[in-house]
Amino acid sequence: MSFAQKFKISVKQLTKKVFLFGRLFYYHGSTVECPICSHGFRKMLPGGFHADVINKLEIIGAGYRLHNICPYCLSTDRDRLVFLYLKNRTRFFNISNRVLHISPEPSLHRIFKKATNLTYLIGTKYAEGLYYPAGISFFDLLSIPFPDNNFDVIICNHVLEHIQDDKQAMAELFRVLKPGGYAILQVPISNKIEKTIEDFTIIKPEERHEAFGQFDHVRVYGSDYKERLEAVGFFVEKQSPYTQEWNINHLSKYALNKKEELYVAHKSPKQD
């Protein structure tokens, strides 16, 4: 690598650090806190997509939110919900677990890869022009290249709404999950509609944005999402710190989406 190339990289890294420091200084405070990176702020960053259908159908887990993104680790409200569930409602960080994380969220990936109790594998479908973390495997969710009954935990958030044959993807996730294991399978969902809306003749990005809320989505899940998961064999429970006891003090400081519930899919009924 030439001196000019090294200098260019160094300047880029320095600029990134200066920008991060400035953002942390501007948002510094104690009103909210990210449970993933443990930093406090006066507020979170806004983020998300604008689309008329998101407002019309009140799609949960989608849309523009004012207090969404952590200024330090860039976790979203959904990432923080998943982390708090794993930390407070499971033994995810306390016992040996073999974990498959599909399209891993960067904020969660940084924590999970350092956890010494986890055998942590990450995977996604390759798309040209995107950045991927080291160690990621590329495969199609319709044909997961692992044996049956292989993982204790699967995390696959906001992926199924991109896949036409979501039932096959659900069946594959069920197949590679161990009996007694669980999968966290979040999707954008509208409780205003009973039946999932999908139309595979809609292929233009702008038409998908109008119909489903994002240019690469192929459906809007309705309240039948739970039944779709159960149809491939899962036992599904919905979890929320606002309706169940998660042993969390000062819940409001974590800037969660109060309407979002976790869909936790078990390969066999949960044993208390």
Give residue-wise pLDDT tens across range 20-47.
666 766 778 889 999 999 999 999 999 9
Long-range pairs of 62-68 with CB within 8 A, sequence gap ≥ 24? 62/188, 62/213, 62/214, 63/213, 65/257, 67/32, 67/43, 67/255, 68/44, 68/255
Per DSSP, 162 falls in state: G
Instruction: Identify the three-state secondary structure at position 69.
Output: strand
Q: Model confidence at 171, in pLDDT bands (50, 70, 90)?
A: very high
Beta bridge partners of 235: 266
Q: At residue 2, does pLDDT exceed 80?
A: no
To the nearest whole percent, how much of the chain has pLDDT over 70? 89
pLDDT at 13 over 60: no
Segment 149-161, tens digit of pLDDT: 999 999 999 999 9
Question: What pLDDT shows up at residue 29?
Answer: 87
CA distances from 218 to 50, 122, 162, 221, 239 (A): 17, 24, 6, 10, 26
Q: What's the whole-model pTM score? A: 0.89
Alpha-carbon gap, residue 19 to 194, rounded angstroms: 45
Beta carbons within 10 angstroms of residue 24's beta carbon: 13
Q: Distance between CA 82 and CA 67 in Å, rounded?
A: 17
